[in-house]
Amino acid sequence: MTFTERLQLFLKKNEKRILSAIIAYILLFGFCYSLYLGSNFRFIDEKDYYTIARNIAFTFQRSLDGIHPSAYHCPGYPFFLSIFLFLGANVIFLRFLNFLALALSVCLLYRILKEEAPGLSGIIGCLLVVCYPVLFYTAGMLYPQTITGTLLLGIVYLSRPPHRSSPPGGEGKNGRVPWIIGLLFGTLILFVPAMVLLLGVFLLWLLFIEKVRIKNAVIIAVLALCMVGCWTLRNYLVFKSFVFVNSNSGLVLLLGNSENTRPNAGVNVDISKYVQEADRLGLNEANRDRYYQKQALEFIRNNKVKAFKLYFLKLWNYFNYRNELGTKAEAARWKDILMLMTWGPLLALFLARLILAGRFKVDRFEGLLILLYLAGAFIHALFLTRIRYRLPFDFLLIMVVAMFLGRGFPITNNRSDESDRYK
């Protein structure tokens, strides 16, 4: 018996034990890491999310300073945190919530791959998550990306093709699925506003690839947009002007599209002249956001060639293994090396899968994963491309890679036609 065969047999025999060990490791590591990080915040955004959440929990007002209403940052994540703060949670428990979400993501990933992929793809995918430490690092911060990844996996789980148990266009007992997907997508957009563009991509896939009933696509779109619309209406009543979801989208757009923008600069872009002008004009939060957005769009219109080149450089940077951090104290060469060693193989295997698409057929479900992953890159390149923003989509890449590697472990226990799917 070869080493591959012995490894294959070991994984097959101990699959459930390995999964349980992975979940236990995530929770134990998450608890210890949360205790280690304590109540101090390493990044400014962490403190902002926490401050907004506290104000929601104890003053019932979404505000940064506790006095003036605000739409700064996404609304979903601070509201989520506020529920637990109201119930008495501390910062350590809030951090641990991300690890609970990460554990749930692993369970969803395993379940999806067990039903949609050959052989040992499910347990391989879970092991790949463990071997990608940036997911654990980010889960320790008060950032929305970990829970965003869970929401995205939930949508994927419910969006499996019609030959699965819960199709998006399902009838009977599955007729509730479009409503659930709509709710999840609405929540996803409230966590990350740019996901509204992903909703458009997802609906096109449903209509033209899955060919679901238009009624179900409409349910998903209307329910998601109604959820977002309620928050937009709140913003209009507060600011007497239109603010789609949050009031820092214009700032992010300007950081990613100005004369001083560099592909990997992130927030380290000199936009001081715009900030000073907004201060001089005495603009409120909503009007300042609109001003930044206007300046970014003017830059694009007046510098079409440069903006076009910058877009594709940011698109290339989306797949980078390192970022220029605004918080310099958190930058370290060993972190970059570790990221390169863990991210590089995943990206290489993903590219290999795409190159071999002609030899190994890409089915509809795998096509959805690839489409959503690449859509995330094109969407974020409109603004900023950061590793943190990419992480929710990296679960999709991990699933594609796991399915690809699963072909080397041909044990099948999911369906009798596994071997036919890849001919």
Q: Which two tokens stand for residue 340?
A: 């390169």
pLDDT band for position 129 (50/70/90)?
very high
Angle at 308 between CA 303 and CA 311, to 5 degrees: 120
What pLDDT is recorded for position 6? Answer: 83
Q: Any idea which of 79-83, 164-168, 244-248, 293-297 has the lowest mean pLDDT?
A: 164-168
pLDDT band for position 324 (50/70/90)?
confident
For the segment 184-201, the average pLDDT, to the nearest whole number, is: 96
For residues 366 and 399, what is the distance between their CA atoms, to the nearest angstrom?
9
For residues 367 and 370, what is the distance between their CA atoms, to the nearest angstrom?
5
Highest mean pLDDT among 86-95, 155-164, 238-247, 328-337: 86-95
Provide the CA 211 distance to its chain's centre, in angstroms.
26
Q: Which two tokens stand for residue 212?
A: 């679901």
CB proximity list for 307: less than 8 A, separation 6 or greater? 257, 299, 300
pLDDT band for position 413 (50/70/90)?
very low
pLDDT digits (tens, 9 = 90+) for 198-248: 999 999 999 999 888 899 999 999 999 999 999 999 999 999 989 999 999
Judge contact between 327 and 388, C-beta under 8 A.
Answer: no
pLDDT band for position 423 (50/70/90)?
very low
Q: What percent of the chain clears pLDDT 90, i.e. is strictly above it? A: 80
Q: Tell which wins on pLDDT, 182 or 7.
A: 182
What pLDDT is recorded for position 412? Answer: 41
For residues 231 and 228, what is the distance between their CA atoms, to the nearest angstrom?
5
What pLDDT is recorded for position 166? Answer: 45
For the segment 273-300, the average pLDDT, to the nearest whole number, is: 95
Alpha helices, DSSP H, located in 176-259: 177-191, 195-205, 214-239, 249-256
What pLDDT is recorded for position 162? Answer: 55
Specify the 3-state DSSP secondary structure of 30.
Answer: helix
pLDDT digits (tens, 9 = 90+) for 355-411: 999 888 899 999 999 999 999 999 999 999 999 999 999 999 999 999 999 887 655
Going from N- to C-terminal start, the domains of the chain cover 15-421
Separation of first and last alpha carbons in the chain: 27
For residues 267 and 281, what is the distance between their CA atoms, to the nearest angstrom?
23
pLDDT at 164 over 60: no
